[in-house]
């Protein structure tokens, strides 16, 4: 119930929420490609400059 509420309230400000959906998470062993894809966000910044 708390996890669902946190996820619902975070949609308005676009903040990421890490929940276990009621399960206990073992953070030191939470590794792998799926974990990294959710944890990392890549943004590009274009800086215009003259010749």
Percent of the chain whose pLDDT exceeds 70: 84
Chain segment 23-43, per-residue pLDDT in tens:
776 666 666 777 777 777 778
Q: What confidence score (pLDDT) does residue 45 get?
A: 87
Report, as an integer, the average pLDDT of 3-18.
81
Comparing 6-10, 11-15, 44-48, the range with the smallest average pLDDT is 11-15
Taking a C-beta distance cutoff of 8 angstroms, is the pair 16, 10 a contact?
A: yes
Taking a C-beta distance cutoff of 8 angstroms, is the pair 3, 19 a contact?
A: yes
What Rg do the C-alpha atoms of the chain give, in angstroms? 17
């Amino acid at each position: 119930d708390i996890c669902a509420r946190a996820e619902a309230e975070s949609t308005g400000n676009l903040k990421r929420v890490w929940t276990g959906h009621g399960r206990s998470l073992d953070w030191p062993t939470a590794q792998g490609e799926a974990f990294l894809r959710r944890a990392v966000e890549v943004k590009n910044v274009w800086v215009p400059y003259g010749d």
